[in-house]
Each structure stands twice: as structure tokens, then as C-alpha cells.
Amino acid sequence: MSKMIEEIRQQPAALEQTLRGQIRAAGRLRRQFETRRPRLIILAARGTSDNAATFGRYLFEITTGIPVSLAAPSIFTLYGANVSFRETLVIAISQSGESTDTNLVLERARNGGATTVGITNEPRSALAGLAEYAFLVRSGREKSVAATKTYTGQLLVLYLLAWALGARIALEDLERIPEHAAKALALEPHIAAAAERYTFIDHALTVGRGLNYSNALEFALKLMETCYVVAERFSSADLLHGPIAMVESSFPAFLFTPAGVTWPAMRHMLAKLQSFQAETLVITDQSNREAAAMAPRAIVVPAKLSRRGVVPDDLYTPIPYVIPAQVFAACLAAQKGLDPDRPRRLSKVTRTL
């Protein structure tokens, strides 16, 4: 059994520990933001953490109305530019806390007067020391190169930061996320059986929209680094602007399809891909019976995750949705005879400038 699948299974406990361990820190930050709210948020990250940052961009803009930018570290590391950070919240996300360029962005931001937050697994890391406020993903050290429990822990901390910024996020809803994660994990035998059909694929497409766009990015990354599948990742809107021309009969396509505001666009995309006879599989939940009925292959999380009265109604779907994708990648790697814990040419900590 790979360490990757072991760490995937640890996520319900890791999420619960992260929430319990960081709620007080989020409360302190919430009190500060009540008197000094940022006008801009900048997120700095690389790799899987950058996919979490993409989720944060959607989450913060949707729930707080504060504009968000994703940092381009080369502006500082290569061009040496001077950037104004007045009234800005800068959040750096790194599993190890030792990403050179991410840390440099945070250092420049703090020196420039920004409020700085670091999200990391490592309390003694450089990132934790640089940040004015350090939030710890309490998942334990990951041993597999492929990050899994770190990603979902980062998403959970981003929910807490949105709550601290005044978003209408209910803490009791966040407390249910570990339970939903456990329900998603219960699908592992079904997912393993589904992955067998794809043993010999060497290319694929992952599609999401809105809050689940980051999951499309992360699923594709997992397929690339653990299964060596050339995976293209798109929002359903961007896919229509040219790249859909590459899709042909039997082309593998994986779609995240919650009920709610993104479903009409995703339904249109699913129907279009099926008209091309693409090999489609959807990840959804019991709130969207139409998606499960439309797709010949579906992974359905056994919970109603999209709810009326929650704004947006798919707000709490991303963590339970990405877990089946992680399991799928781990199972597919095993079926291909690959070791997802030690992908070729990769190491756990990557330092770039």
C-alpha cells in the first residue's frame, strides 16, 4: 500500500485537528479585521499550494467582495520590482514553508506594510517565522511526494480566513467537513474499480467551474505527477475557447459537477463532450441526481453537499469532491505499476526563484 493512499485516508482526522487547532487564531484575526479590513488580498504559492490559492481567490471574492490577486514571484525574484502593499493582506501557502520565492514575496510584503499570513505544515519553517500570523495545517508531515492531506487542510484554513474576513461562513458547517470527507473515503472500493477502465490512458482532461476549478487543476496535477498522464485542466468556459478542438472519440474527461450555480454550464459541457463520444466520468454528490443520471460513469459522494440558503450553494463541495480524485489518481498509479510516493524527477521540497 502506498503512503499516498494512507495519507488520503488520514484526511478526516487531519481536517478535524486543523479546525480545532486554528479556530482561536482565526478568531483573533477576525477581531483585527473588524477595525482594519484589507482592500486587496494577494495569494502566493507554488504547485499544489498554488491550486489551493486558486480556490482561495474564488472563495474570498465570492464571500467577502475583496478583490484578490495571485502573486507572480518572478516580479520580485527576477525583475526586482517595487510593489505597493498598502492596505493589503498577503497570504503565502506552502506545505514545507521553505519555498524560496513564496517566502520572498511574503518578506517583501511585510516590509512594505502588508498584513501577512502564512499557511504551512511546518511550525519551525522559514514561512512560519516570516509571517505575522502563522496558520498550521495539522496533518502531520507528509511522506508521499504527492500532496493530498496538505491540500485539503489548506482549503480548510482558507475557509477560516474567509470567516475571519467577515464571510457568511458558518463554523458549524465547517465542523461537518471531516464527516463529509469520511463519506467520500467510503467510496474507495468503487473508485478503485472505476480506475481500472483507465489503466492505459496517457492523456486526459479535467474540468471544473467556480469553486471547483481548483480541483480540476489539482486532479490534473495528481494525474501528471503520479500516473505520468498528460492532463489538460480547464474551466468549462475556457475549454470552449479553442481547446475543445482536441477532444475526440474515447478522449478521457473528468468533470466536477455540483448542483447549483455552476451546474448549467457544466451540464452543457458534459452534453457537448458526450456528443463527441468522449469517455466522461463525473464527480458529484446526492444533491445533483441529474449529473449522475447523465453520465455513464459517476462517483457520487453519499451526502447532500449543495444546499439552498447557503451562498453560494456549492460552497462546501470542494474538499469532499477532491478526495475521490486523489483516490482515483493513487489507484490508477498502482494499476499502472507506478509508485506515487516517489515520482520520477520530483522531491518533496522544491525551491525556485
pLDDT value of residue 53: 98
Predicted structure pTM score: 0.95
Q: DSSP of 162-190, one letter per residue?
A: HHHTT----HHHHHHHHHHHHHHHTTHHH
pLDDT value of residue 21: 96
Q: How many other CB atoms are there within 10 angstroms of residue 336's CB atom?
A: 18
CA distance 232 to 221: 9
Q: Which residues in the chain land under pLDDT 50?
A: none
* 271-316 pLDDT tens trace: 999 999 999 999 999 999 999 999 999 999 999 998 877 889 999 9
Domains located in the chain, CATH noted: 3-169 (3.40.50.10490), 179-335 (3.40.50.10490)
C-alpha to C-alpha distances, 239 to 18, 70, 236, nearest whole angstrom: 35, 21, 5
Residues 6+ apart with CB under 8 A from 72: none
CA angle in degrees (0–180, nearest 5) for 324-329-99: 100
Phi and psi at 283, nearest 5°, equal -110, 120
pLDDT value of residue 145: 84
